[in-house]
């Protein structure tokens, strides 16, 4: 019977579809015609049964039901329809007689959306239907947005609540999502009391006090609660709510609960990462600065002293270098653990309480922290005097005494501690840090494994030196050290026969000569890592030259005697040359005569072992020391180097040439090579040559040059035979007086 027009569908706006049910065919017909006239699509049926049967196929947007019908009447039809899945919300209009009050109320009970008194005023009916459709759409939208809100809240672990003032703690209503936040089922009820029971006892009292305050003033409520759920899980729940008013009186609150545990955990983690050292778990530099500034503020206000202890491990680099970084890290962790026990260390500062609570709260600032590397700081926020701080420093030195087991072996670690006192040694963090640093280096200079208190004299006297040392300390890591090479020349053959490596320190734009830092390095022990580095670097350079121009001679490296005492010297050199794939003889070690004599006994064993693997030894500054000539016969020495002081006076004083010829004769008789250094002019060269020494080094030939410059020098001066020193000897016959060495 329905004749749907397509014109509405064509322009996209769907015609509302009405299922019209009336047993009176006349009314059915008229109503249908009237509604179609007004833009509805109408499906006509004449009874309740056929209406229910037509539902699925019709899929109406609304249903118009005559109330009184034979058989299944409108009320029964409506009830049956509502019971069908999907039809709980469809708008149903019940048509009743004008004076039929009973039917009207029955209609609502049966689930009708509205009623309409039959009349022939069709516009009214159409208007009512349109209104119902709009209301229904609004309702569907509302349902949808309620659903979306619930879902969004669920995802955000959030849920709403309402609280109404009332007897005792009032009435609390939680949405299903809010119940879920507290680990409850949607059908459970949670009273205020039950909620309070989920808080710890300590928190409960404070919260109640706060709630009272908030509720009294109808203020905004926003706080975090730590709750323990029924399954024992600990969660942090954020609550935020605003007061609701009726006639100007606060009647309760409405707001949300949100589980913010994850966020809180992440925040805590970020805070921890930002403030604590990842390796040792100690406060890091940033946290130490923060604590120190707080502590100084407090000291300033209350007029007491504080102390800053800078703790630096002695020779930690050795551990790292010999046992590896993993072992180094392990050692630092153990050191951190011991240091922490030396002070009243607090991981957490009672931040808020700092101002408010008792006078002693600044004590929680006390801590040991790690500045980086092997540097630690102990902050003592309140000390009576410097003796107080020294006691802590002694505790620290004592704590290091026990060996530390790392990488399966015992390590003995000592520390040097510098103490600076507030306000005496500095009024701010920067001064205290610098002065504790000065004191620490003073302790190191004095022999390490000790504590030193800062004094102005300390700074005045050794300030520069101490700063220099502190920088030299880091020079290797920062790649600030370079080697320059002075060629050794055989003037007879007019060619380079080797080079001596000389260390330079490229400090910013300044090239520091060795005289300015080698003595200091010797004094502080830094000479050891410096020399080890020099051997490695020389081996690397030998390889490069080998590749660039077939260099097959040796590079001489100066070593202090203390290095020869080290049991791992041979192994070190072996590793250095192996690393670059050059033979052992590519490295020649120079030791001064004085050094050699000082430690002859300890050094000789090393010399033998070095000689066995092919590393040659040269005696530097020969002729200046109190040599026992006997040792020359027992030691595996390959070369004597005539000291520059004799060379300088050659041709001026007869004594000098006497010494030089004696050295040459000695070398010849012992089968040693001889080389003269400090050759600055052709006169000196001539005399040496005549005396039988043809291998030399000095400014006459070349200064110590950067490796690239040395190559240029070779290419532009030696190979084209352009230097003044080349013509003057090579043309002469070999003098008779000079014996073959």
Partner 1 sequence: MSEPSDALLSARLSAAGVLDAQALARLQELDPGDKAGLVARVLTTYAQSLQRLLEQLRVARQDADAQGQRHVVHTLKSSSASVGALKLSALCADLEHRLREGLTLGLEGPLDDLCAEGERVLAALRQP
Q: Are 72 and 102 in contact (CB under 8 A)?
A: no
Cα torsion through 111, 117, 122, 127, rounded to 10:
-50
Structure tokens that stand for 410 in this block: 């015992």
Q: Are 422 and 432 in contact (CB under 8 A)?
A: yes
Q: Which residues pair with 235 in a beta bridge?
A: 227
Q: Which is nearer to partner 1, 67 or 693 (CB)?
A: 67
Q: What's the closest the beta carbon of residue 97 comes to partner 1, in angstroms?
A: 7
- E strands within 124-267? 158-164, 171-174, 221-228, 234-246, 249-259
Biggest CA-to-CA distance, the chain: 154
* b/e map 271-290, b = 16+ CB within 10 Å: eeeebbbeebebbbeebbbe
739 secondary structure, DSSP code: P
Q: Is the dihedral of CA 213, 218, 222, 228 positive or negative?
A: positive
Neighbours of 34 (CB within 10 A): 17
How far is the C-alpha of 241 from the C-alpha of 333, rounded, in Å? Answer: 47
Q: What's the closest the beta carbon of residue 122 comes to partner 1, in angstroms?
A: 8
Angle at 692 between CA 689 and CA 693, to 5 degrees: 65
Q: Which residues bind partner 1 (CB under 8 A)?
A: 23-27, 29-30, 33-34, 37, 68, 70, 97, 99, 118, 120, 122
Q: Which is nearer to partner 1, 89 or 123 (CB)?
A: 123
Neighbours of 457 (CB within 10 A): 9
Structure tokens that stand for 461 in this block: 């006297």
* b/e map 538-574, b = 16+ CB within 10 Å: bbbbbbebbeeeebebbbbbbbbbbbbeeeebbebbe
Question: Among candidates 9, 71, 4, 73, which has minimal Cα distance to 36?
Answer: 4
Q: What's the closest the beta carbon of residue 127 comes to partner 1, in angstroms?
A: 17
Structure tokens that stand for 426 in this block: 């500095």
Q: Are 710 and 703 in contact (CB under 8 A)?
A: no
Q: Are 206 and 288 in contact (CB under 8 A)?
A: no
224 secondary structure, DSSP code: E
Q: What's the closest the beta carbon of residue 160 comes to partner 1, in angstroms?
A: 50
Write the DSSP assignment of 363-378 as a string of letters: GGG-EEEEEETTEEEE
How far is the C-alpha of 560 from the C-alpha of 614, rounded, in Å? Answer: 20
CA 66 to centroid of chain Cα atoms:
78
164 secondary structure, DSSP code: E
Q: Are 257 and 159 in contact (CB under 8 A)?
A: yes
Q: Which is nearer to partner 1, 9 or 37 (CB)?
A: 37
Q: Which is nearer to partner 1, 45 or 392 (CB)?
A: 45
């Amino acid at each position: 019977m329905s004749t749907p027009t397509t014109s509405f569908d064509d322009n996209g706006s769907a015609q509302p579809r009405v299922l019209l049910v009336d047993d009176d065919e006349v009314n059915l017909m008229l109503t249908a015609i009237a509604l179609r006239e007004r833009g509805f699509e109408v499906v006509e049926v004449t009874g309740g049964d056929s209406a229910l049967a037509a539902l699925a196929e019709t899929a109406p947007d609304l249903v118009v039901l005559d109330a009184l019908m034979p058989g299944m009447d409108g009320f029964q039809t409506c009830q049956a329809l509502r019971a069908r899945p999907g039809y709980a919300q469809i708008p149903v209009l019940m048509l009743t007689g004008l004076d039929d009050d009973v039917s009207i109320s029955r209609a609502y009970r049966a689930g009708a959306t509205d009623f309409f008194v039959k009349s022939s005023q069709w516009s009214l009916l159409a208007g009512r239907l349109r209104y119902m459709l709009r209301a229904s759409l609004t309702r569907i939208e509302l349902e949808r947005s309620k659903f979306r809100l619930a879902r969004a809240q669920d995802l955000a672990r959030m849920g709403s609540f309402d609280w109404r003032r009332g007897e005792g703690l009032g009435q609390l209503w939680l949405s299903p999502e809010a119940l879920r936040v507290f680990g409850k089922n949607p059908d459970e009820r949670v009273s205020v009391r039950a909620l309070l029971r989920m808080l710890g006892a300590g928190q409960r009292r404070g919260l109640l006090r706060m709630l009272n305050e908030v509720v009294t003033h109808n203020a905004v409520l926003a706080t975090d609660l730590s709750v323990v759920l029924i399954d024992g899980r600990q969660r942090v729940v954020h609550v935020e709510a605003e007061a609701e008013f009726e006639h100007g009186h606060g009647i309760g609150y409405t707001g949300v609960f949100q589980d913010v545990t994850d966020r809180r955990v992440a925040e805590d983690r970020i805070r921890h990462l930002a403030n604590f050292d990842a390796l040792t778990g100690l406060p890091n530099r940033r946290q130490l600065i923060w604590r120190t500034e707080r502590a100084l503020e407090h000291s300033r206000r209350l007029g007491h002293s504080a102390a800053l202890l800078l703790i630096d491990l002695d020779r930690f680099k050795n551990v790292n270098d010999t046992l590896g970084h993993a072992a180094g890290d392990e050692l630092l962790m153990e050191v951190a653990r011991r240091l922490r026990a030396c002070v009243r260390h607090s991981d957490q500062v009672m931040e808020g309480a700092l101002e408010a609570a008792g006078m002693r709260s600044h004590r929680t600032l006390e801590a040991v922290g790690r500045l980086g590397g092997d540097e630690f700081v102990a902050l003592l926020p309140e000390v009576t005097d410097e003796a107080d701080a020294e006691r802590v420093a002694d505790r620290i030195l004592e704590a290091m005494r026990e060996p530390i087991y790392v990488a399966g072996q015992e390590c003995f670690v000592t520390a040097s501690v510098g103490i600076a006192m507030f306000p005496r040694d500095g009024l701010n963090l920067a001064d205290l840090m610098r002065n504790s640093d000065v004191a620490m280096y003073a302790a190191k200079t004095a022999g390490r494994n000790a504590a030193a208190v800062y004094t102005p004299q300390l700074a005045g006297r050794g300030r520069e030196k101490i700063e220099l040392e502190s920088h030299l300390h880091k020079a290797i890591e920062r790649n600030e050290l370079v080697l320059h090479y002075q060629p050794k020349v055989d003037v007879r053959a007019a060619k380079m026969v080797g080079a001596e490596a000389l260390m330079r320190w490229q400090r910013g734009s300044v090239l520091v000569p060795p005289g300015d830092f080698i003595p200091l390095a010797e004094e502080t022990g830094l000479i050891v890592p410096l020399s080890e580095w020099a051997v490695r670097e020389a081996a690397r350079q030998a390889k490069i030259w080998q590749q660039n121009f077939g260099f097959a001679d040796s590079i001489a490296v100066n070593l202090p005697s203390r290095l020869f005492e080290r049991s791992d010297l041979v192994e070190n050199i072996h590793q250095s040359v192996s690393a670059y794939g050059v033979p052992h003889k590519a490295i020649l070690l120079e030791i001064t005569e004085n050094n050699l004599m000082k430690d002859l006994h300890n050094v000789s064993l090393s010399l033998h072992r070095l000689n066995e693997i092919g590393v040659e030894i040269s005696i530097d500054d020969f002729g200046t020391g109190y040599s026992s000539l006997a040792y020359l016969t027992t030691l595996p020495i390959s070369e004597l180097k005539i000291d520059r002081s004799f060379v300088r006076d050659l041709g001026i004083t007869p004594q000098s040439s006497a010494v030089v010829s004696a050295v040459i004769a000695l070398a010849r008789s012992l089968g040693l090579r001889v080389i003269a250094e400090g050759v600055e002019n052709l006169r000196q060269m001539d005399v040496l040559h005549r005396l039988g020494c043809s291998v030399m080094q000095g400014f006459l030939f070349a200064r110590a040059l950067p490796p690239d410059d040395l190559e240029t020098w070779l290419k532009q001066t030696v190979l084209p035979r352009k230097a003044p020193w080349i013509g003057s000897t090579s043309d002469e016959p070999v003098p008779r007086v000079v014996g073959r060495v």
